[in-house]
Structure 1
Amino acid sequence: MRLLISLLVNGLLVYLCAEILSGVGIDGYFDAVIVALLLGMVNFFVKPVLTLLTLPITILTLGLFLLVINGAMVLLVDWMLDGFYVDGWIWAIVFALVMSFFNLFVGQFSVKEERK
């Protein structure tokens, strides 16, 4: 149940980001939920491999290259889904930053279950 709620909230955040940013577009809320699902899957499977492969340049840029990797993940989802549009690298990086900020903000309100 928690996974479904998280997916729906992230879909809402994707939809909100697409409304705020002029370089990002989405066809509807259902597509936003699919984008949230695909972003989660891409970040789970592809991002660790890319991060490991680009470790030298990430260290050289003091971690700033991770912004490029996050933008690449957004562009990969853009390529995978027809209802999601990103105008380029800059908008993909800005979208990833705004989504991270929104997730940080929403994460502050999440209720932690206590273990007994």
Structure 2
Amino acid sequence: MWFLLRLVINAIALWITTMVVSGIEVTGESATSDAVTLILVALIFGVVNAVLKPIIHVVGCFFYVFTLGLFALVVNALLFLLTDWIAGLFDLPFQVDGFWPAFWGAIVMAVVSWLISIVVPGRTDDR
């Protein structure tokens, strides 16, 4: 259940990102097509972040420390571009027009996702 909630939160954050950041767009033929695309791209984005981000944190630890964490913004933008590339492999109508839209899109997506997560009750740890 938590996975589905997280997926919906990311899809909503992605939808808001497409409306706020020019250069990131979903070009489906209908609203239903756009919604399915947003959910699938949110799934791809979640998998990319879950698999690659921890590896990049370990390998790029020096850069994170050296840049006082600003390197994370570049990494997030590159992961957003990777998500766009993978979505293209599946012929999803999702497009990011370069590094800067990906940079700002990753920031907007992170902030919106975080804000939605604050409002939506999260999972509880029974530790």
RMSD over equivalenced CA pairs, Å: 1.6
How much does 1:9 deviate? 2.8
**For this pair of structures, how many residues does the alignment match?**
115
Q: Tell which deviates more after alignment, 15-24 or 69-78.
A: 15-24
- In the alignment, structure 2 segments of 5+ residues that lack a partner are 28-33
The one-letter amino acid paired with 2:118 is Q
Within the alignment, does 1:41 sit opposite 2:40 as a pair? no
TM superposition shift of 1:6? 2.5
Q: Is the 8 A contact 1:51 1:69 kept in 2?
A: no
Residues 53 and 112 of structure 1: CA distance in aligned 2, closer, same or farther (over 3 Å): closer
Partner of 1:109: 119
Percent identical: 30
Q: Which 5+ residue runs of structure 1 have no aligned equivalent?
A: none
Q: Which amino acid aligns with 1:22?
A: S
Please tell me the residue identity of whatever aligns with 1:85: Q
Matches within 5 A, 1:1-116: 1-27=1-27, 28-82=34-88, 83-112=93-122
Give the whole-Å Cα distance in 2 for the aligned partners of 1:44 and 1:5.
Answer: 16
SS at match of 1:108: helix
Q: TM-score, normalised by structure 1?
A: 0.89
User: How far apart, CA to CA, are the structure 2 residues paired with 1:113 and 1:55?
Assistant: 29
The 4+ residue runs of structure 1 with deviation greater than 4 A are 112-115
SS in 1 for 2:110: helix
Q: Distance in 1 between matches of 2:43 and 2:123?
A: 24
CA offsets, 1:51-85, max 9 Å, x none?
21111111110010010110111000100112221
State the TM-score, normalizing by the size of structure 2: 0.82
